Amino acid sequence: MQYLEPKTIAAAVKLMQDHEDARCLAGGQTLVAMMNAGLVDPTCLISLRKISGLDTIRIDHMGALTLGAMVTHARIAMEPRLRGALTVVREAAAATAHPAVRNMGTIGGTLCHADPAADHPAAVVAADAEIEIAGPHGLRVISAEEFFVDYLSTALEAGEVVTAR
DSSP string spanning 61-103?
A: TTS-EEEBTT-BHHHHHT-TT--GGGHHHHHHHHTSS-HHHHH
Q: What is the mean predicted confidence (pLDDT) over 3-10? A: 98
For residues 116 and 118, give the distance between their C-alpha atoms in angstroms, rounded to a whole number.
5
Q: What is the mean predicted confidence (pLDDT) over 31-40? A: 92
pLDDT digits (tens, 9 = 90+) for 119-165: 999 999 999 999 999 999 999 999 999 999 998 899 999 999 999 98
Among 137, 140, 141, 138, which residue's Cα sits nearest to residue 124? 141
In this predicted structure, what is the pLDDT of residue 116? 81
**Which band of pLDDT confidence, cut at 50, 70 and 90, is reported for residue 115?**
confident
pTM across the whole model: 0.93
In this predicted structure, what is the pLDDT of residue 117? 82
In this predicted structure, what is the pLDDT of residue 152? 86
pLDDT over threshold 90, residue 91: yes
Contact (CB, 8 A) for 120 and 126 = no
Question: Domain locations in the chain?
Answer: 2-164
Beta bridge partners of residue 9, listed in sequence order: none
The CATH architecture of the domain made up of 2-164 is 2-Layer Sandwich (3.30)
pLDDT digits (tens, 9 = 90+) for 38-85: 989 999 999 999 999 999 999 988 888 999 999 999 999 999 999 999
Q: What is the mean predicted confidence (pLDDT) over 18-38? A: 93
Q: State how beta strands 130-135 and 161-164 pair.
A: antiparallel
Q: How many CB atoms lie within 10 A of CB 13?
A: 23
Beta bridge partners of residue 23, listed in sequence order: 45
Strands across the sheet containing 44-47: 2-4, 44-47, 22-25
